[in-house]
Amino acid sequence: MSLNNVIDLRSDTMTVPTPAMREAMAAAEVGDDVFGEDPTVNTLQEMAAERMGMEAGLFVSSGTMGNLVAMLTHCRRGDEIIMGRQSHTFAHERGGYAAVGGIHSCQIDNQPDGTLALDDIAAAMRSEDDHHPTTRLINLENTHNAMGGVALTPTYTRQVVEFAHARGIRVHIDGARIFNAAVALGVEVRELVAGADSVTFCLSKGLSAPVGSVLCGSKAFINEARKNRKLVGGGMRQAGVLAAAGIIALEQMVERLAEDHAHARLLAESIAQTPGLQVDLTRVQTNMVYFDVSPDLPFDAAELCRRAAHHRVKMLDVGARRIRAVTHCWITREDVIEAGQAIRQIVVSG
Ligand code: TLP
């Protein structure tokens, strides 16, 4: 079922609440969550923590807020976070950790599989030298958006956690789409965050809730995080109307992500067969398809997206010659077939 008769592949953030979510939102029992008295928020937080195998959860308004609150809670001013150059926290969150928290960051290149090489992490570690900031935190991202929606494995994450903890450093996971990773790898989401000190995951992307993310960690960490959520203006009141949709998201929308992944693969295969477009199929592991527009074609990524919109297909140009298409629950198999055909028609007709 496409939304407003548009095949909107710009992002899985385009998803709207399902009928079951709207019903649950209308019926939600609420209270003042700043007082900890919203029963629906409390239930969502408990469910989220349980899924992650962590002690506690904190409902926040967005993935960006979850990551920011996590970084503010783990770090003090002048501390340093090691993160990927292509990470969302570095590239797309307004530098909030620096702007709000006075926190420094050290960027290292992401590998094509989304990981940070352990050698690179080791080389980025600061010594006790008076001149250096203190390395406090390592940020991972799973799935890794800019590297293609690729899934980081439990084994890799465990290695980073062991490396970090042996040196007194903490690990935060930006798991905006960690349920996509779990479904793609066929593992429980808790295995993907085992040992990590915190994780943020989003309800408002592939899981289709209208708003919200949950930050999870230890009880002590979440107690501090609540204060930082307040600091950034994120203490919401009768937020149960939003959390109610989040509960449905966790109960009903996780398993079905496999469909989105199959649709992304179908779209990627169609694009791969279109002359002048290149897609690395090995990186199409979840619900994202990144592809490149050859310089031999008479238009760039922005123009291809403009033309696709005339065929009711919306995609995002993320570079001069790079495009992203994301599948989600409002995109059917027929939609991706139609999108693939529209893209081919545009390219072939020049
Ligand atoms: N990503 C959005 C855009 O900001 C690019 C998208 O359409 O993909 N972590 C990751 C890995 C993300 O991809 C995003 C959103 C966030 C965090 C931030 O989540 P929100 O938008 O809820 O603040």
Ligand 1 geometric centre to CA of 329 (Å): 17
Give yes or no: residues 124 and 154 share one domain. yes
Query: What value does the mean pLDDT take over residues 162-179?
Result: 98
> Which ligand 1 atom lies nearest to the CA of residue 141?
11
* pLDDT of 177 above 70: yes
Kindly state whether residue 279 falls inside one of the protein's structural domains.
Answer: yes
Ligand 1 geometric centre to CA of 89 (Å): 9
* pLDDT of 178 above 90: yes
Domain boundary among 252, 273, 302: 252
Query: What value does the mean pLDDT take over residues 259-267?
Result: 98
Domain boundary among 237, 252, 267: 252
Give yes or no: residues 66 and 213 share one domain. yes
> Which pLDDT band, with edges at 50, 70 and 90, does 251 fall under?
very high
Kindly state whether residue 114 falls inside one of the protein's structural domains.
Answer: yes
SS3 per-residue string spanning the chain: CCECCEEECCCHHHCCCCHHHHHHHHHCCCCCHHHCCCHHHHHHHHHHHHHHCCCEEEEECCHHHHHHHHHHHHCCCCEEEEEECCCHHHHCCCCHHHHHHCCEEEEECCCCCCCCCHHHHHHHCCCCCCCCCEEEEEEEECCECCCCCECCCHHHHHHHHHHHHCCCCEEEEEECCHHHHHHHHCCCHHHHHCCCCEEEEECCCCCCCCCCEEEEECHHHHHHHHHHHHHCCCCCCCCHHHHHHHHHHHHHCCCCHHHHHHHHHHHHHHHHCCCCEECCHHHCCCCEEEEEECCCCCCCHHHHHHHHHHCCEECEEEECCEEEEECCCCCCHHHHHHHHHHHHHHHHHC
> Which pLDDT band, with edges at 50, 70 and 90, does 337 fall under?
very high
Domain boundary among 199, 218, 252: 252
Give yes or no: residues 27 and 162 share one domain. yes
Classify burial at 140, counting beta carbons within 10 Å of its beta carbon; exposed 0-12, middle 13-18, buried 19 or more.
buried
> Which ligand 1 atom lies nearest to the CA of residue 143?
11
At 2 the pLDDT is: 64
Give yes or no: residues 232 and 343 share one domain. no
Give yes or no: residues 193 and 296 share one domain. no
Query: What value does the mean pLDDT take over residues 108-124?
Result: 98
Average pLDDT, the chain: 97
Q: Indicate which CATH number applies to the domain containing 295.
A: 3.90.1150.10
Give yes or no: residues 239 and 328 share one domain. no
Give yes or no: residues 159 and 37 share one domain. yes
At 70 the pLDDT is: 99
Give yes or no: residues 69 and 172 share one domain. yes
* pLDDT of 57 above 90: yes
Kindly state whether residue 278 falls inside one of the protein's structural domains.
Answer: yes
* % residues pLDDT > 90 (the chain): 97
At 1 the pLDDT is: 53
Kindly state whether residue 1 falls inside one of the protein's structural domains.
Answer: no
Give yes or no: residues 52 and 169 share one domain. yes
142 lines ligand 1 (CB under 6 A): no
* pLDDT of 4 above 90: no
Give yes or no: residues 210 and 277 share one domain. no
Give yes or no: residues 144 and 216 share one domain. yes
Ligand 1 geometric centre to CA of 4 (Å): 23
Kindly state whether residue 131 falls inside one of the protein's structural domains.
Answer: yes
Which tens digits make up the pLDDT trace of 67-100? 999 999 999 999 999 999 999 999 999 999 999 9
* pLDDT of 3 above 90: no
* % residues pLDDT > 70 (the chain): 99
Give yes or no: residues 229 and 295 share one domain. no
Kindly state whether residue 104 falls inside one of the protein's structural domains.
Answer: yes
Kindly state whether residue 2 falls inside one of the protein's structural domains.
Answer: no
Counting the structural domains of the chain, the total is 2
Return d(Cα 133, Cα 109) in angstroms, integer: 20
Query: What value does the mean pLDDT take over residues 44-49?
Result: 98
Task: Name the residue of 9, 13, 152, 178 to mutate for ligand 1: max ligand atoms within 8 A of Cβ.
Answer: 13
> Which pLDDT band, with edges at 50, 70 and 90, does 350 fall under?
confident
Q: Please name the residue whose Cα sits nearest to atom 4 of ligand 1.
A: 92
What does the CA dihedral 211, 154, 80, 205 come to, rounded to 10 degrees? Answer: -10
Q: Indicate which CATH number applies to the domain containing 120.
A: 3.40.640.10
79 lines ligand 1 (CB under 6 A): no
Which tens digits make up the pLDDT trace of 125-139? 999 899 999 999 999
What range defines the domain where residue 320 resides?
A: 7-13+256-349
